[in-house]
Structure 1
Amino acid sequence: MGLRDLIFRPKDNSDPDQYKELPLKDYEGENPALLVKVATVTSLRESQIVKDQIYDGDIVIVDINRLKMDKINYERVMKDFYQVARDVDGDIVGLGDQQYVIITPRNVKISRDRIGGGA
């Protein structure tokens, strides 16, 4: 892309609240060192799938919103998640008024410091 292309490129009229697809295939490697996965857990049985992903070395963002409707299952699943984070020397933190939990594998820590937003 030359200077002329930068100056005279068409204006982007897309909605800023909508996601924009990026051509990531141009930047992806064949075997990424780390994957970030997203899961929804509604029962203790589903938590095993998440735990397997953590043991495999992936980061998992878990939607626990529906799980919180059953306090006993919620406590069991969260205990399992804390245990797997401890087992792999990873990390775990809640997000969004505890609607989400991020669990990381070894050598990945989550900062508790917020960036921006006046926090």
Structure 2
Amino acid sequence: MALLRKKSQSGSDRGKIEGRKFIDLNNFRFSDEKPDVTTTLKVAEIYRFEDVRRITDHVYGGNIVLLDCSNISNDDLLMRRVIEEVKAIGREANGDVAGLGKNIIAITPKGIVIDRNRIRAPY
């Protein structure tokens, strides 16, 4: 008694190869469905002081912005100016501002607070 039997092919089926069909997920889009997103996390790089002004509309629009200041981290005077400007943007937007590491600054809009306590694994 055989549990698995090879299916016999008729004359018309001999040229066909039956296999699994795979869906390429890169080509699969949900064009009809749009997520109900109100807040977006944006990442911005700062190369000069004028770049800070470009992020104000994003913060006022309700988005969270992460500033990568690694390009200007060697210039202490420029870093101080950028930090003071970012703090002013946070105050004007009634949001929150916090440094994440040495070269990353997070700015949140009104209603979102940055928790300063780190989550650590229990050891």
Q: TM-score, normalised by structure 1?
A: 0.70
The structure with more radius of gyration: 2
RMSD after superposition: 2.4
Q: Distance in 1 between matches of 2:89 and 2:117?
A: 23
Between the aligned partners of 2:74 and 2:65, the Cα distance in structure 1 is 21
* Aligned-partner Cα distance in 1 for 2:121–2:67: 23
What displacement does 1:92 show?
0.8
Runs of 4+ in 1 over 4 A off after TM superposition: 23-28
Could you list the runs of 5+ residues in structure 1 that have no partner in the other structure? Answer: 1-20
Gaps of 5+ in 2: 1-25
Aligned: 1:38 with 2:38: no
- Out of 97, 101, 112, the position equivalent to 2:116 is 112
Q: CA deviation at 1:57?
A: 1.4
More helix per residue: 1
**In the TM superposition, what is the alpha-carbon distance from 1:74 to its structure 2 partner?**
1.2
- State yes or no: 1:57 paired with 2:45: no
> Percentage identity across aligned positions?
26
Q: Deviations over 1:14-43 (max 9, x none)?
A: xxxxxxx9x9969851x5110100111121
Q: In structure 2, do the counterparts of structure 1 residues 65 and 117 end up closer, same or farther at CA, with 3 Å as the change threshold? A: farther
Q: Deviations over 1:29-84 (max 9, x none)?
A: 1x511010011112111111112211221100111111122222211111110001
The alignment partner of 1:32 has SS state of coil
Structure 2 length normalisation: TM-score?
Answer: 0.68
SS at match of 2:73: helix
| AA of the residue aligned to 1:56 | G
